[in-house]
Amino acid sequence: MYGLTVARASDTSLTIHPGIAIDALGYEIFLERTQHVSVAEFGPNDLLHIVLSYEDDTGSEGRADVSRIRRDFYTVITVSKITEDSTGLTIARVQLDGQGRLDDQAIDYSHTKYVRSVAPGSITPNELHANLRRGWLRLPFRPVPLVNVPQWEEEIPLNAPQGAAEIPPAFRVGTTEVLTPSPEEANETDKGAAGTMAIPIPPSVTQVTRLRIAGARNEGEIRLQLIRGGWDWNRKEHIHKVIVRKIITGAPFMETFHIDDTALDPEYQTLSLWLWGTRRTSISLIATEFVY
């Protein structure tokens, strides 16, 4: 088996990424496009397995305890309880919590067999301990100026004079900290600053689970959006999905935000941060937690 990684998409759904597998009879089974499956029909603490199988169109459907998605005439993804009979190749096991939902530790690859070619003694990310398959990418804030007026649920920016929208100034970028322009130096009212930066995604990462931001100064509001971008190759269209939208008040501050929609396509999706400090602001740290 190669590819076919599984990621938590929400509390009750999973994303399965493209890949290829060979079953016990030697059939090649292809999953060419990312698929989404729901586990909403299952109960608290259910242990599920996700199975890929090669079938013709005579396979049964409609059972209350089985969810199926057909990729083509012969490929079936099945999600069912471990106690149920299900032939095929196990992609992953999934443990629901006490509310029947998926948490960050739900997906287990210990029963998955992957095709690999590695030197003796080498391991792949799936064989690492769970604590080693996740980690924080820590960055200084390095924004580029905005080219359009900030939009926050279609409202006019708070610092817009007489209700007219305008683009806020750019941040002043230092070695380890960014600051908004000084109103004393500019001899004008405090307009804050706004900008956006790309967040690099490590190779093979399939989930982003938390966002952290810290700084020493915040005299107004810090409005931020973490945005999943990239390209939907199936629909042939641009992706723009806000996965975190928050407001920070008070200083000094260090805020950590949990992400519900964690899935990242390892080939086609990107991450960027949009941030607007409405008054005097400083930012010292931007960090994102990724999971292999």
The answer on 243 and 280 residing in a single domain is yes
Enter the tokens of residue 27. Answer: 């059939």
For residue 151, the enclosing domain spans: 135-291
Same domain, 268 and 153: yes
pLDDT value for 279: 92
pLDDT at 219: 93
Same domain? For 155 and 268 the reply is yes
Based on the domain organization, do 103 and 163 belong to the same domain? no
One domain for residues 84 and 14: yes
Q: Which of 127, 155, 170 is the last residue of a domain?
A: 127
Burial 260-280 (b: 16+ CB within 10 A, else e): ebbbbbbeebbbebbbbbbbb
Residues (pLDDT < 70) of the chain are 1, 24-25, 55-74, 84-87, 113-132, 152-165, 183-188
Tell me: do 72 and 92 sit in the same domain. yes
Domain co-membership, 97 together with 146? no
Q: Are residues 180 and 287 in the same domain?
A: yes
Count: domains in the chain: 2
Question: Is the same domain home to 41 and 152?
Answer: no
CB atoms within 10 A of CB 290: 23
Same-domain status, 111 and 163: no
| Per-residue pLDDT, 80 | 84
In three-state secondary structure terms, 161 is helix
3-state secondary structure (DSSP) of residue 9: strand
Q: What is the dihedral of CA 75, 264, 110, 11, to 10 degrees?
A: -90
The residue from 108, 127, 146 where one domain ends is 127
Tokens representing 119 are 């030197």
Report the pLDDT value the prediction gives residue 258, as an integer from 0 to 100.
Answer: 94
- Does residue 167 share a domain with residue 23? no
Domain boundary among 98, 127, 156: 127
Pair (140, 278) in one structural domain: yes
Helix (H/G/I), strand (E/B), else coil: 98: coil
> Can you give the pTM of this predicted structure?
0.59
* CATH number, residue 162: 2.60.120
**Beta-carbon contacts of residue 292 (< 8 Å; ≥ 6 apart):** 125, 126, 128, 133, 134, 204, 205, 206
